[in-house]
Each structure stands twice: as structure tokens, then as C-alpha cells.
Structure 1
Amino acid sequence: MRAVALGGGRGLHATLSALRRLTADVTAVVTVADDGGSSGRLRRELGLLPPGDLRKALTALAGSDEWPTVFEHRFGGTGALAGHAVGNLVLAGLIEVLGNPVAALAEAARLLGVTGRVLPMSTEPLDIEADVTGLEEDPTTVRRIRGQVAVATTPGRVRRIRLHSAVRRDGPLVACPEAVAAVRGADVVLLGPGSWFTSVLPHLLVPELHDALVQSAATRVVVLNLVPQPGETAGFSPERHLDVLCEHAPRLRVDAVIADADSVPTPDRLRQAARVLGADLRLDDITAGGPRDRHDPAALAESLRRAIGSVRGR
């Protein structure tokens, strides 16, 4: 089964950890708009793709324990290296030496013993811009906020996002050709979980990637978050996540929506929102022990297996 997962950060890590239990042919397509922390510093200083989300996807698919631990290690202290992850620096170096982020990721994957592939959704860094309300005395006043960190942490309500090339301000968005080909050739494509406006929806705003997702013959599955994200989706119901997805990509049709049963207060409303996208709803226990904001990879893998089987049977 050729599986493609679109996203970024911790949410994509959860999806990849589940998918690798189902198939060895996994491709991660990763957002490249991060402008904070170590990734933001390297992006500003070197003009490269932000490596943090790419690093996390690589370690999720890694075949050994030693190198992923090294890649995830962050330098302490107060010097120039403070806060940088080792893997971010390795990826930045590979991109500079090889001159091609796809080749750099392939080399890093070889080093880590990755089963599958990690690809950027674009080979150039992107900027996120959002329309946000609730920041002024008049709650209907719309302000534009720019930058992934600013959008993710805004105290207002995000209404809509747009993407811009960080290299060519008014130029067209260019998708990574290998990522487009992976989506078009996939048997299963997953969206979510993750930061809805800054990790999940951006894939739908790159025209070539959007068209590949809409036209693909793959089974398309949306995995919902366990809890709303403070700032970005504070106060969002599970069904509101699907409404926003539909608003940003009205042509997209989905085959299945997976959600944690205990995270859905009104299943009938979520089921109706899923039907608008053409999807069946699957409610399972997919949380890890302890914090309720972490997916359990084994439980999510089983839920995915059943959802995919149900769609194919239908």
C-alpha cells in the first residue's frame, strides 16, 4: 500500500508512526512555513527551508534508535548553538552542500535508516498570512497576521489563511514535483492531525498539490485532533475543523474521517459535517495513556486499517 501523509510537527509524527505499522511504502509531505525557534533562525540566516518539521518526519520513520536520538538532541547554553537541534544543523548543511532539498532529505534518510520518504511540500520556504478577528474592540474587525508562529499563537479567531512564496513575494506557489507525484500515485492519502491552520490546511493552498489531492484515486482520510489548539483553534468543535477544511478546499472530497470517541461531544453533528465532504465517520479510542492530546500510534494504525478496509469494501 502506497501511503502519503500530509502535515507537519507532532501531528505528522503521530500519523507516520501509525502508518509504518501498516506499510513500508510511506511518504511524508511536510509543510515549510515555520519561522520560529531553531528552524526560523536557520531560515533567516541561511535562506533555506525550515528544517524542524522535516527532521521530525525523518525521525518518525527512522529504522534505528541511536541516530534519531542524536538528531533530536538540542544544544544548551547561551551561545550561537543554543536551542538548535542537531538534525536541523545536519539538514541545513546537506541542503547547502547538495544544493537540492530533496537530495538532502534522501541522504539524511539513508543515514537514519528511514523506511519510506520525506519530502517538502515546496522546495522554497513559504509564508503564512491569516485573516483574524477578535483582536480589536469591534469583534468583527479583520486584521491580517503574518508568520506561522504569529498565526499559531494569536489570541484572536483565525478565519482564513493564505500562502506566499518567501522568495518571490508575488510569484506563484511552486509545489515539490516529487510530492505531487507521490500524491497522484498513492493508494491512501492522510490529512491531519496537527495544527489545523499552519500544518494541515497549507497543503491545500499550493495549486499543484491541491489539484493532485482532488484528482487522486487514493482513499483520502482525515484524522482529527484530540483537543483544540490554544490560540489557533481555541473553541473549535470537531465539526468546525471539517467546516474550515471545506471552506479552504471546496472541491476536496474525503472518504473517511477518524476521530477519538471521547473527544467528540456531539457525534451526530460531526457525522453530518463528514457527509458534506463525502466521508464516513469512524469513532475509536485512539489516545495514548496519560495526556489526552497524544494519539496512540498502535490504536491509530488499527483505526486507519479498518477505515481503509471499509472504504474499499464500499
Structure 2
Amino acid sequence: MIERGSQKVVALGGGHGLYASLSALRRVTDRLTAVVTVADDGGSSGRLRRELGVLPPGDLRMALAALCGDDEWGQTWSRVVQHRFRSQGDLHGHAVGNLLIVALWELLGEGEAGAAMPEATVAGLDWVGRLLGAQGRVLPMAAVPLDIVADVQGADPARPEEVVQVRGQVACATTPGKVLSVSLVPPDPPVCPQTLQAIEEADWVVFGPGSWFTSVLPHLKVPELARALIGTRARRIVALNLAPQPGETDGFSPQTHLEVLQAHAPDLRIDVVLADRGVVEDPDALEKAVRMLGGRLMLADVAAADGSPRHDPARLAQAFAQILRE
């Protein structure tokens, strides 16, 4: 059993990667904040975003579900907000939590074209967190919906050297080409004050695991957010993925992930890089890449025991706890 500490931790990302880190970190600290990407344009989130002009709620919902406790209340509500309708009609594929979040945004205050104002956006997420008994807070990366634009080489197999731009999170995550870099539209979006305050007051900031180009790196492409992440007094952890992301980081070694991170944010210094010892084929090369970022490498057994490429929450929590103690 890990005794939860009181260090302030901010975890950044989106989707299943952030879900994994939050499921672990909530066991380690009672002062946890998730800062979540808002660029999803597919599925239920994309439909709500296009129809109502709101932030895509899906990654925010997943973060809230990850923060639910292990008691009956927490696990029941976690299942409820993650539940997707199955039908032949318009509700098919919508997640209950997405609809709940958007309903609160509409009730608490609307801006132009039905989009919630930043104050209502944060308040709505806080209300859902209270209902779920979430062990932490969830905040958006930006106050407006974003589009990811990727420079992709070889998107057309007939022109393997050609570099083109691909727009949209789903398109970037599934492109058959090699993603070279990402940017955002709009390029300088507003950021909620609560998000900046959480980073300023943090003791630790955690990047990853997660889809590198569509969940992790976008945080560093929001200028105001990037300045906060570079300037914060907090120490910084990078938790590496267990396997390359199909269609996004195929062929990437662990050290390639760090090289891409440095290319997108040259001024960002990292204190600790956490990697699973079972997937690192060249520890010396990875350690060299970590030193280039100013940090140290920690190898630990954090993968699920069944051999699948997913993090085990308890093992990951033990590794985070050790880092925070040191």
C-alpha cells in the first residue's frame, strides 16, 4: 500500500495514456491536476464539437473517470460516464460522460455559437468531478477547440519523399506517412487561468505516456502553456510509452521520443525519464538522450504482467512514488 503524499502534481496528455498516468498518480498524491488536450475531432467528441461548438469532451471525460476512487461509488460512476450508447439512431456511439459534461457547460453559461465560456468550462468539469468523487481536478489545455496540423512525409506511398500537411487529430494519428512535426490551429489559443496556476504551483509536472504527436507534444505548441511549463519551478517527469503508436510513431525507439520532444521544445529541461526496463533495448543510448535533456533515467517494471503494451496502475504508482520521494 502506497501512502499518498501532498506534493502538487500536474499530469499532461490525453486519451488512454493520460488515463494510465492518472490511475497511478491518484494513488501517490492527494493534490493531482490533469491538463488535457482539446483537439479530438473524431467519434462522439467530434460530433459534439461540430454540432455545438464546444471543447471536445472525450479526453476530459476519460481523465475524470481515471480519477475515480476504487470504492463502489467511484467505480460505478466511472463505468457510467464511460458507457457508450448502442443503437441504430443518433445516440449511437455517444458516451454518457460526454453528454453530461456538455449539458453542464450549457447550463452554467454559454458564449457565442453555444460554446461555453472558460469559467463555465472549468466549473462544469469541477461539478462532474464532485459527482464522481474524483481524486483530483481536470482542466483543459486551452479554452477553445484546437486542430492539430502535422507535417507528414510519405503520406502518399507513391511519393515517399514528399512532405504534406495533414489536419485533424484523427487524420494525424492514422496517417500512413511519417509524422515529422505538429502545430496547432489557432496557433496562440487562450489558456484557462486555472491551468496556468496549477502549473505555476506544481511540485512535479508529468508528460506522457500517450500518443506522442497528438496527446503529449501539443501542450508544448500552445505558447502561453509552453512558457508556463518551461518557467515553472516544478520538476519534470517524462513517462515513456511501452510501444510505438501505430500510424504515429512507428519505428520510434525510446530515445527517438525524447529527441522529438527536444526538437519541439528546445528550452524544456527534464529531471527524470521513466521507462519500462523490459522494452528498452539500448539503455546506454537512452541514458545519453536523457542527459541531453538535463535529466536522469529511471528503469522500472511498469508494464502489465500479461505482456500487453499497457501500463499496470499499481506498478506505475510504485515508480512514481519512488521518484517523488527522491
TM category (shorter chain) comes to over 0.9
Aligned-pair CA distance for 1:129: 0.1
For the 8 Å contact 1:120–1:179, the answer to whether it is kept is: yes
For 1:33, the equivalent position in structure 2 comes to: 39
For 1:8, the equivalent position in structure 2 comes to: 14
How many angstroms apart in 1 are the aligned matches of 2:265 and 2:194?
A: 22
Aligned-pair CA distance for 1:291: 4.3
Q: Is 2:278 aligned against 1:258?
A: no
Which residue, 83, 97, 100 being the options, matches 1:87?
97
For the 8 Å contact 2:143–2:189, the answer to whether it is kept is: no
How many angstroms apart in 1 are the aligned matches of 2:58 and 2:266?
A: 30
Q: Aligned pairs, how many?
A: 305
Q: What is the SS of the residue equivalent to 2:17? A: helix
Which residue, 229, 233, 238 being the options, matches 1:222?
238
For the 8 Å contact 2:242–2:309, the answer to whether it is kept is: yes
The amino acid across from 1:102 in the alignment is: V
For the 8 Å contact 2:11–2:205, the answer to whether it is kept is: yes
Q: TM-score, normalised by structure 1?
A: 0.95
Aligned-pair CA distance for 1:301: 1.3
Equivalent residues in 2 for 1:93-132, closer than 5 Å: 93-99=103-109, 100-132=120-152
Which residue, 186, 195, 214 being the options, matches 2:211?
195
Equivalent residues in 2 for 1:23-62, closer than 5 Å: 23-62=29-68
What percent of counterpart residues are identical?
57
Which residue, 17, 22, 28 being the options, matches 2:28?
22
Regions of 4+ moved over 4 Å: none
How many angstroms apart in 2 are the aligned matches of 1:291 and 1:111?
A: 35
Unpaired segments ≥5 residues, structure 2: 1-6, 110-119
For 1:308, the equivalent position in structure 2 comes to: 324
For the 8 Å contact 2:188–2:224, the answer to whether it is kept is: no
How many angstroms apart in 1 are the aligned matches of 2:92 and 2:170?
A: 19
For 1:158, the equivalent position in structure 2 comes to: 179
Aligned-pair CA distance for 1:132: 0.2
Q: Is 2:68 aligned against 1:68?
A: no
For 1:241, the equivalent position in structure 2 comes to: 257
Q: What is the SS of the residue equivalent to 2:62? A: helix
How many angstroms apart in 2 are the aligned matches of 1:154 and 1:276?
A: 30
Q: What is the SS of the residue equivalent to 2:288? A: helix
How many angstroms apart in 2 are the aligned matches of 1:65 and 1:292?
A: 23
